[in-house]
Amino acid sequence: MLYQTVEDKSIVEQTHEIINLAHALPDAEMKLPEKFLAMSIVNKFSKSWKNFGMTLKHQKWRLSLDDLVIVINIEKEHRSQTYKMSIKHQPRANLIVGK
């Protein structure tokens, strides 16, 4: 599959696009195992999601497509909260320089 996720589009949206493509395969008399498809999606994560993908690959259990969408949503929310907190806790100071 020559597909790669991109940074400027929602990872959840891109995951759903791949799942929709895979669900169209039975119409073409082809069927991929769900867990294989889930790991194929993980392999296509963009750079900012690579570490998370490695974590998923090293799990002892394999994700279903539904589980994959759930953990991606959780990670996306976590990243969003972490980003908001990092902005909130940035130091703020007024620098006054005397003449």
Cβ(18)–Cβ(41) under 8 Å?
yes
Mean pLDDT of the chain: 83
User: Residue ranges of the domains in the chain?
Assistant: 11-88
pLDDT of residue 97: 73
Which pLDDT band, with edges at 50, 70 and 90, does 45 fall under? very high
Which pLDDT band, with edges at 50, 70 and 90, does 3 fall under? confident
Q: Which two tokens stand for residue 59?
A: 């799990």
Query: Whole-angstrom Cα distance, residue 77 to residue 72?
Result: 9
Picking from 18, 12, 53, the residue whose alpha carbon sits closest to that of residue 34 is: 18
Q: Give the C-alpha distances (Å, rounded to integers) separating 68 from 43, 54, 88, 98.
A: 12, 13, 30, 57
Place of tokens 């990243």: 79
